[in-house]
Amino acid sequence: MSPAIVLEVQTHYKEEELLESPEFQKGVKHLCERGITKVPRKYILPAFDRPISPKKDGATNFKLPIIDFAQLQGPDRIHALKSLSKACEEYGFFQLINHGIARQSILDMIEAGRKFFELSFEERSKYMSKDMRAPVRYGTSFNQNKDRVFCWRDFLKLDCHPLSDVLPYWPSSPTELRQAAVNYSKETKFLYLMVVGAILESLGLAETTKDIDENDGDDHIIKEFQDGSQLLVVNCYPSCPEPDLTLGIPPHSDYGFLTLLLQDEVTGLQIQHEGRWVTVEPIPNSFVINVGDHLEIFSNGRYKSVLHRVLVNPLRSRISIASLHSLPFGSMVRPSPKLINDANPRRYKDTDFASFIEYIASHEHRSKNFLDSRRLT
């Protein structure tokens, strides 16, 4: 390469850094609105971290275990609990069908989320914050204060507990967002509690959900879940001109107890299964539910959180809505004493939400590094 060409390339990179670095903090949507045709260097992953197109590696869409919520509530509950336990042990993910949440509530939430990201940047930016405890936070990438390489994602995070305290801080535009999010958060919280009851039963911590209050200590656990944290995250993944160079979200596990994920019809979610990245095939009107780090700790490693990531699409934008649930922010998460014995000794330290906030504020969140920091050697 001639010196003149080298100088031209270096000048181009310096101009990009000087002119566009502040723009990266404004989000991917803002960049796309400016009409970019190539992925900026800030978003380009090292070659070994880049996704391989499913078409190039011959992968096909992957069908997660399906749990029928109606069966969990009926005479086939014992069989459904065995399927639930197998899914949590072997996959860390499952698809929940017949969940009972009204289709209109789901459509309203997706549409309200989509409309938020269609607002002007000036309107969206009102909710930008570096405070991870803020009741509402608009941002970009995974952790934009620490990420060396940004991911192709913007988000709106809404703290949902207690609703009466946080609701006044939520965006007032679009006008339908608050009501849609209130309805959706209430319905997903109820569904979460029902699924948690089934998970406790599958772990042998309650004979039936009706008998939980009669079991020593288990009534306290259920009360903590009822008073637990809930974070609603609306993810926006704009169409990407060079999707093989970047990711919507890098490989990670979720920190909480359970995540209830609502996907639109655009594929993108991948999980790591048997050493390979596989694309989860969306099922209409279903939830993808995954084990979080807190459940792995609580189950003393019986149910494991699993690495997952998000691909981006060259032609279509994608919206997903994650409802992340765990114990109250001030509660300590520890392995259940009933799941510790000589054959299965304690595997994890106690942890709480404050520890997680402190960790990700000072580390780049990659893979399962937070959970790894809580393991007992």
pLDDT, position 21: 65
- Bridge partners of 154, per DSSP, are 140, 236
- Least confident range from 97-101, 203-207, 261-265: namely 203-207
User: What is the model's pLDDT at position 363?
Assistant: 63
Query: Residues 7-63: pLDDT tens digits?
Result: 333 434 443 443 346 778 889 999 998 888 999 999 999 999 999 865 555 555 788
Per DSSP, the three-state class of 258 is strand
Separation of alpha carbons 31 and 20, rounded Å: 9
- For tokens 């309805």, the residue is 183
Residue 98 has pLDDT above 70, yes or no: yes
pLDDT digit string (tens) for 119-150? 999 999 999 987 878 899 999 987 777 788 99
270-307 pLDDT, tens digit each: 999 999 999 998 899 999 999 999 999 999 999 999 99
Burial of residue 259, with CB atoms counted within 10 A of its CB: 0-12 exposed, 13-18 middle, 19 or more buried:
buried
**Token output for 316:** 């279509």
The phi-psi region of residue 211 (left if phi > 0; otherwise alpha if psi is between -120 and 50; otherwise beta) is alpha
| Whole-number Å distance between alpha carbons of 377 and 374 | 9
Q: Which two tokens stand for residue 186?
A: 């209430």
Rounded distance between C-alpha atoms, residue 190 and residue 217, angstroms: 22
Q: Say if residue 174 is preceded by a cis peptide, omega within 30 of 0.
A: yes
Residue 215 pLDDT level (bands cut at 50, 70, 90): very low
193: tokens are 């509690």
Side chain identity at residue 320, one-letter code: S
Can you read off the two tokens belonging to residue 34? 């400016």
The per-residue pLDDT for 63 is: 85
CA distances from residue 45 to 10, 15, 151 in whole angstroms, order as listed: 19, 20, 9
Which residue in 140, 169, 180, 167 sits closest to 24, CA to CA?
A: 140
Cis status, amide bond into 243, omega within 30 of 0: no
Strands (E), the chain: 66-68, 93-97, 136-140, 154-159, 230-237, 249-252, 258-263, 269-273, 276-279, 287-291, 308-310, 318-325
| pTM of the full structure | 0.89
The pLDDT of residue 220:
64
Task: Tell me the residue length of the chain.
Answer: 377
What does the alpha-carbon distance between residue 144 and residue 138 come to, in Å, rounded to a whole number? 11
CA–CA separation, 138 and 127 (whole Å): 5
Of residues 4 and 152, more confidence is placed in: 152
Task: Tell me the two tokens of residue 195.
Answer: 């699924």
Residue 327, pLDDT above cutoff 80 = yes
pLDDT tops 60 at residue 182 = yes
